[in-house]
């Protein structure tokens, strides 16, 4: 399924971007095949920058499964896959998240890597805010990411030819101070690869994404997991691309697919000049 904005037409000063939605399960090889298919689909529609969802390579009821897949930074099947995909399609590719080795023996970093069209890593971000919550006591829906994940402690922005990108992951979305910090590096695009749960997603996902876009006058790209991943895990989906004015430019509701839009960063610059809310901040 593809959804794209009929308003934004591709021109020289625009950048075509795509968010990929998946329903990853515990079959590693099958997940990579699906990711490859959807990346190809996005690239064939001339997307220059493609964003995969969080945990695109595996979602399992056994949280140790992702620890078993962890790789040292710079080598391993997952990093080879992402590098080869970006190079083969000559695109900027943000690899959702993959498990990378940390200093702790039994925990991994939930890492987001940005690859340039030559297949090289341009930026690396470790998820800072970990999802340790009880979502629904009655249904015994709880999550404890810190059991298997080590939190990162750095704010990361990435420089590309088309945008300055603020990198974040899923639960980070609930912490607006993270994005305010990114504004020090003049970000104009926020990325949010996610595996947002169904129960929290239907209440908060769109609201939070629009808030981050409007308050920072940024484009937002949010690639989510979207369906029944395992017997006990269902994700919300509704991956979307949002304008700095809070408009949804493209989206996909459920199931695997892509959403595509053309981002006009010149128009964004004009908006920030005519509506200079970012310069009116007082409590820094």
Q: Is 12 helix (H, G, I), strand (E, B) or coil?
A: coil
| Confidence check: pLDDT of 10 > 60 | no
**127 classed as catalytic:** yes
pLDDT value of position 135: 82
Residue 85 near residue 36, CB atoms below 8 Å: yes
pLDDT > 70: percent of the chain:
94
CA 243 – CA 263 distance, rounded (Å): 8
Pairing of strands 121-126, 132-136: unpaired
| Confidence check: pLDDT of 247 > 90 | yes
- CATH code for position 206: 3.60.110.10
Whole-number average pLDDT of the chain: 94
| Confidence check: pLDDT of 2 > 60 | no
- Cα-to-chain-centroid distance, residue 150: 19
Q: How far is CA 255 from CA 43, 113, 252, in A?
A: 19, 24, 8
What's the domain count of the chain? 1
| Confidence check: pLDDT of 3 > 60 | no
**170 classed as catalytic:** yes
- pLDDT higher at 4 or 248: 248
Query: In 156-189, which positions are buried (b, 16+ CB within 10 angstroms) versus exposed (e)?
Result: bbbebebbbbbbbbbbbbeeeebbeebbeeebbb
pLDDT value of position 139: 66
| Confidence check: pLDDT of 218 > 70 | yes
CA 143 – CA 133 distance, rounded (Å): 5
Torsion angle (degrees, nearest 10) of CA 171, 174, 177, 178: 20
Token look-up 């962890």 returns: 70
For 135-172, the pLDDT digits (tens) are 875 567 789 999 999 999 999 999 999 999 999 999 99
Strand partners, 165: 158, 189
Tell me the backbone φ, ψ of residue 47, rounded to 5 degrees. Answer: -70, 135
Contacts of 33 (CB under 8 A, 6+ apart): none
What is the domain extent for residue 60? 2-280
- pTM exceeds 0.85, yes or no: yes
User: Which residue is catalytic, options 54, 66, 126, 218?
Assistant: 54
For 31-74, the pLDDT digits (tens) are 999 999 999 999 999 999 999 999 999 999 999 999 999 999 99
CA 55 – CA 11 distance, rounded (Å): 33
pLDDT value of position 138: 58
- The neighbour count for residue 206, using CB atoms within 10 Å, is 17
Q: Mean per-residue pLDDT for 196-202?
A: 96
For 84-136, the pLDDT digits (tens) are 999 999 999 999 999 999 999 899 999 999 999 999 999 999 999 999 998 87
User: Which residue is catalytic, options 70, 112, 170, 218?
Assistant: 170
pLDDT value of position 105: 87
Q: Is 204 helix (H, G, I), strand (E, B) or coil?
A: helix
| Confidence check: pLDDT of 7 > 60 | no
**112 classed as catalytic:** no
pLDDT value of position 149: 98
CA 122 – CA 143 distance, rounded (Å): 31
User: Which residue is catalytic, options 127, 145, 210, 218?
Assistant: 127
Confidence of residue 284 (pLDDT cuts 50, 70, 90): confident
Confidence of residue 8 (pLDDT cuts 50, 70, 90): very low
CA 7 – CA 267 distance, rounded (Å): 13
Residue 42 near residue 86, CB atoms below 8 Å: no
């Amino acid at each position: 399924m593809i959804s794209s904005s009929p308003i934004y037409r591709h021109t020289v000063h625009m950048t075509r971007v795509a968010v990929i939605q998946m329903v990853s399960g515990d079959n590693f090889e099958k997940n990579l095949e699906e990711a490859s298919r959807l990346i190809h689909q996005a690239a064939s529609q001339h997307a220059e920058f493609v964003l995969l969802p969080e945990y695109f390579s595996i979602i399992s009821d056994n949280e140790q499964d992702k620890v078993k897949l962890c790789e040292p930074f710079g080598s391993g099947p997952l990093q080879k896959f992402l590098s080869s995909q970006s190079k083969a399609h000559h695109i900027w590719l943000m690899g959702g998240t993959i498990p990378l080795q940390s200093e702790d023996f039994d925990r991994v970093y939930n890492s987001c890597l940005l690859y340039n069209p030559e297949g090289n890593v341009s930026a690396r971000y470790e998820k800072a805010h970990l999802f340790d919550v009880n979502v629904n006591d009655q249904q015994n829906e709880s999550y404890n990411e810190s059991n298997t994940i080590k939190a990162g402690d750095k704010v990361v922005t990435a420089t590309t030819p088309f945008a300055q990108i603020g990198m974040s992951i899923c639960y980070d979305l609930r912490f607006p101070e993270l994005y305010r910090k990114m504004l020090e590096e003049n970000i104009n695009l926020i990325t949010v690869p996610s595996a947002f749960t169904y129960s929290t997603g239907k209440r908060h996902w769109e609201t939070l994404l629009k808030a981050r876009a409007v308050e920072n006058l940024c484009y937002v790209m949010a690639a989510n997991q979207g369906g029944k991943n395992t017997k006990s895990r269902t994700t919300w989906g509704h991956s979307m691309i949002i304008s700095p004015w809070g408009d949804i430019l493209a989206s996909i509701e459920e199931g695997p697919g892509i959403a595509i839009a053309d981002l006009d960063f010149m128009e964004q610059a004009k908006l920030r000049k005519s509506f200079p809310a970012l310069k009116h901040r007082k409590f820094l």
